[in-house]
Amino acid sequence: MLLAVTAQRGWLVHHMDVKSAFLNGELKEEVYVRQPPGFVAAGHEGKVLRLKKALYGLRQAPRAWNAKLDNSLCELGFTRSHLT
């Protein structure tokens, strides 16, 4: 629908694909992961790592990214639509 209105009114469309979008989400929960094979710190083999930012495949990643995007857009002056 959005593209149809854009075409009808002759507006320009800009598309952006951010490959690392989910990596920018900041986690509010405490999330721990095992050290990945091949990247184990010598002398710390049994330790786990606490994540500060989201990773791909993490269940919280989409929500964390969406919250960061929402906050950034609101800070730039955008407002949410109240249409249902």
- In this prediction, residue 38 carries a pLDDT of 87
- In this prediction, residue 4 carries a pLDDT of 94
| Angstrom distance (rounded) from CA 11 to CA 8 | 8
With a pLDDT cut of 70, the percent of the chain lying above it is 99
Cα-Cα-Cα-Cα dihedral of 54, 56, 60, 61, to 10°?
70
More reliable by pLDDT, 26 or 9: 9
pLDDT tens for each residue of 32-55: 989 888 888 888 888 998 988 888
- In this prediction, residue 61 carries a pLDDT of 86
pTM: 0.58
pLDDT at 23 over 70: yes
